[in-house]
Amino acid sequence: MPIQSLYGTIKVPGDKSISHRAVMFGSIAEGKTTINGFLTGEDCLSTISCFKKLGVNIVQENEHVTVKGNGISGLRPPSEDLYVGNSGTTIRLMLGILANTPFTSVLTGDDSIAKRPMNRVTKPLKQMGAEINGNDSGNKIPLQIKGGNVKGIHYDSPIASAQVKSAIILAGLEGEGTTSVTEPLKSRDHTERMLEAFGAEVKSDALTVSIEGGQQLKGTHIEVPGDISSAAFFLVAGAIVPDSTITLQKVGLNPTRTGILDVLNDMGAEISYQNVNEEASEPYGDLIIKTSSLKGTVIKGDVIPRLIDEIPIIALAATQAEGQTVIQDAHELRVKETDRIETVVNELKKMGAEIEATEDGMIINGKTHLKGASVQSHGDHRIGMMLSIASCIAEGDTTLDQSEAVAVSYPSFFDQLKRLSNQ
Ligand code: S3P
């Protein structure tokens, strides 16, 4: 049923990318790392569970985590498989770290991870000296990795992916000589920023990142800002639900992640900023969104890596914008938790959207009146949240199958949505 309005202030949960990295880097650092604002979503809990199996002392109490690391050489052979659940970041970054451990680990995950390509990281890591075997010649789980004796390489990545860049840089951290990665477009740079916070020296110019081997990380304190990819659902909700004003506190504003703000701005959304600040090299601030008249836009090129995870919710915004929205250059969506071009288009069509898939994106014609329908998250957290926001403006009832998937990145999503709609 349509919601009358959304009103109030919420603090979205901690950034997923930063939470993963804080646990991983703390696990291979020397000394104690404390983390505040940790995301307690299933993906980040998978990272904690894997590093515990590698012998790291990690204590998690809600959003506070303490990690006691003993360097990469302090990691111990796991006595069971490292299960990453649904988390692509866990498996790909961990492979980079395990390229430096002289023992064998086996990495597995859920049905979605089983379909996702791993050769984007296993190929360069093998070039660096890691021994990796797995299904489909090391492209699919289960993957077996034995590391040690890494040699630095230069890698020209065919895709703009922070997971690929990070895996190679993490492997290079203990390797011999220099490791560098050049990507076609700039992807999120949390690894570069956080390695520096852990005392490492990382060089970045426009599209190339490089690191000297043999650097030892030192434990530190990491304050995790709110996840702009989670805030995105309420930014769009606030713009498309009538009579709404939502304040989102302490949202991460790293420029490699703020493509959604640029696009919503182009579409005519009324967003304002307050309390902008910076901690551990990560900028953050409060965002205020009001109900807005949106218009269609074109989204392509170098903004795509800056909003790749937000495209499902941007597609919903486009159904409520006057005119046409075209999304191009987003082929990577086909290898996310689901094929997000197919799942977004098929599920929004069930609700009456005028939306067509293209090879590398979608074309959406607005503005359409959405109607309630029986829809599916397909086990994909971001598809589940996008459809839940769609149901807030749809005429009639919507039922969402596999709604529990939202816990992967946003366990409090339904509670916060309810709170905003009751005020
Ligand atoms: C992430 C990078 C992105 C993003 C994912 C998190 C990260 O993936 O989609 O949700 O934390 O490095 P790619 O690096 O594959 O683009």
Between CA 387 and CA 373 the distance in angstroms is: 10
CA nearest to 233, candidates 139, 348, 311: 311
What is the DSSP track for 248-298? EEEEE--TTTTHHHHHHHHHT-EEEEEEEEEETTEEEEEEEEE---EE--E
State pLDDT tens for residues 236-270: 999 999 999 999 999 999 999 999 999 999 999 99
What is the DSSP track for 38-81? ---SHHHHHHHHHHHHTT-EEEEETTEEEEEEE-GGG----SS-
In whole angstroms, how far apart are CA 342 and each of 95, 244, 358, 359, 362?
A: 29, 30, 9, 10, 9
Q: What is the DSSP letter of 116?
A: S
Cite the annotated binding site for 3-phosphoshikimate by residue number: 16-17, 21, 161, 163, 309, 336
Low-confidence ranges of the chain (pLDDT < 70): 423
CB distance 87 to ligand 1 below 6 Å: no
pLDDT of residue 281: 84
Domains annotated on the chain, with CATH: 16-223 (3.65.10.10), 225-421 (3.65.10.10)
Q: Which two tokens stand for residue 73?
A: 């050489």
Q: For residue 305, which atom of ligand 1 is closest to its CA? A: 16
Contact 276, 253 (CB under 8 A): yes
Ligand 1 centroid from CA 92, angstroms = 10
Q: Which two tokens stand for residue 293?
A: 């008249």
Between CA 68 and CA 74 the distance in angstroms is: 10
CB distance 157 to ligand 1 below 6 Å: no
Q: Half-sphere exposure (CA, 13 Å, Cβ side) for 375? A: 31
Cis peptide upstream of residue 146 (ω within 30 degrees of 0): no
Tell the residue nearest (CA) to atom 11 of ligand 1.
Answer: 17
Q: What are the catalytic residues?
A: 309
Mutate to test the pocket of ligand 1, among 89, 118, 181, 333 (most ligand atoms within 8 A of CB): 89
pLDDT of residue 280: 78
CB-based burial, 208-227: b 16+ in 10 Å, e otherwise: ebbbbbebebbbbebbbbbb
pLDDT of residue 245: 98
pLDDT of residue 185: 98
pLDDT of residue 423: 62
